[in-house]
């Protein structure tokens, strides 16, 4: 029994070290709002703070990034049904634009639309994040986008995502490890 207690304590210490959170608050930190219309057991929902960003492309990118952030928020809340609803917004934002630069993104969006469970959707969200990266870097004209990373996602292989706010709200673990991760890079307009 003593060995089991020691193993549990060591596991907790390792998790705490892998996903340390900064206790310092900086100006502009996100305040997590609680929404009482949630379907979660504790009747609350996490709402991501979405800071203003602007893009060269005024038609596709704002809609695309907004839908992306809504999906991230739904994944933070472990809400597969709502996340899947926002895939239609992703598709609509690129569907009307005939530019071939969206072809790979359209494929990933189509794949997300057929996903049948939360874990598979999170894998698709990583694929979406990978494709979005070049578009975000090329198109950003104002504001900052944070490339955030969780080392423990997908059995410690790690995964990243993008947010317009610096506070970590992990879409790969949701409530289980809400603040696990770190900002790896701040993308700014060139």
Angstrom distance (rounded) from CA 151 to CA 160? 9
What is the length of the chain?
Answer: 190
Write down the pLDDT at residue 113. Answer: 93
Tell me the three-class secondary structure of the chain, residue by residue.
CHHHHHHHHHHHHHHHHHCCCCCCCCCCCCCCEECCCCCCCCCCCEECCCCCCEECCCCHHHHHHHHHHHHHHHHHCCCHHHHHHCHHHHHHHHHCCCCHHHHHHHHHHHHHHCCCCHHHHHHHHHHHHHHHHHHHHHHEEECEEEEEEECCHHHHCCEEEEECCCCCCCCCCHHHHCCCCEEEEEEECC
Q: For 83, how many CA atoms within 13 A lie in the half-sphere containing its CB?
A: 29
Q: What is the mean pLDDT of residues 20-49?
A: 44
Q: How confident is the model at residue 1 (pLDDT cuts 50, 70, 90)?
A: low
Summarize pLDDT for 90-115 with one digit per residue, the tens: 998 888 788 888 999 999 999 999 99
Query: Is the pLDDT confidence value at 132 over 50?
Result: yes
Query: Is the pLDDT confidence value at 2 over 60?
Result: no
Q: What is the mean pLDDT of residues 132-146?
A: 95
Query: Is the pLDDT confidence value at 25 over 70?
Result: no
Summarize pLDDT for 45-61 with one digit per residue, the tens: 888 888 899 999 888 99
Q: What is the mean pLDDT of residues 147-154?
A: 97
């Amino acid at each position: 029994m003593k060995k089991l207690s020691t193993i549990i304590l060591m596991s907790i210490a390792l998790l705490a070290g892998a996903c340390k959170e900064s206790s310092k608050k900086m100006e502009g930190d996100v305040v997590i709002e609680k929404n009482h219309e949630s379907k979660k057991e504790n009747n609350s929902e996490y709402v991501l703070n979405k800071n203003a960003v602007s893009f060269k492309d005024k038609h596709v990118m704002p809609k695309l990034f907004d839908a992306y952030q809504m999906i991230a928020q739904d994944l933070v809340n472990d809400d597969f049904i709502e996340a899947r609803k926002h895939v239609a917004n992703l598709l609509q934002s690129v569907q009307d634009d005939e530019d071939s630069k969206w072809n790979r993104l359209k494929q990933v969006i189509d794949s997300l639309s057929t996903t049948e469970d939360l874990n598979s959707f999170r894998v698709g969200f990583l694929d979406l994040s990978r494709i979005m990266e070049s578009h975000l870097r090329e198109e950003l004209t104002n504001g900052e986008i944070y490339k955030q990373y969780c080392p423990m996602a997908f059995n410690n292989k790690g995964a990243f995502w993008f947010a317009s706010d610096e506070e970590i709200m992990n879409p790969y673990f949701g409530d289980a490890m809400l603040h696990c991760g770190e900002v790896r890079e701040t993308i700014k307009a060139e």
